[in-house]
Amino acid sequence: EDKVVQSPLSLVVHEGDTVTLNCSYEVTNFRSLLWYKQEKKAPTFLFMLTSSGIEKKSGRLSSILDKKELFSILNITATQTGDSAVYLCAVKTGATGNQFYFGTGTSLTVIP
């Protein structure tokens, strides 16, 4: 059975801290891994990763994929209160068409 596991489930940090969120997966026919940020409402797209070892960056956020060890990390440096959200990892497999398997998310709270 395909599964996506995120850790930690929740995290509380102070502004300025650096955090690392983890996503591990066991799926057949891996195609891509995506990270989303979910605040109060709909998830918004952050990154898509398909190749091992290639870092994607956007401002203070970065992410990398390890297809050998089957995981990805999302790093956030110099955290701000606006980074408080649930971060979702989703893995696309080629086995069942156009769908992703989502992890349960990591809830990040950044306190001033």
Partner 1 sequence: NAGVTQTPKFQVLKTGQSMTLQCAQDMNHNSMYWYRQDPGMGLRLIYYSASEGTTDKGEVPNGYNVSRLNKREFSLRLESAAPSQTSVYFCASSEWGGEYGYTFGSGTRLTVV
Estimate the share of the chain in helix, then strand, then coil, as percent rounded to the nearest 5: 5, 60, 40
Site string for partner 1, 78-97 (x = CB under 8 A): ----------x-x-x----x
Distance CA 36, CA 42 (A): 10
- For the record, the structure tokens of 38 come out as 């979910």
Determine contact, residues 45/62, Cβ cutoff 8 Å: no
> Judged by CB under 8 A, which of 32, 62, 84, 93 binds partner 1?
32
Site mask, partner 1, residues 37-66, x = CB under 8 A?
----xxxxx--x------------------
Positions that interact with partner 1 (CB under 8 A): 4, 31-32, 34, 36, 41-45, 48, 88, 90, 92, 97-100, 102-105
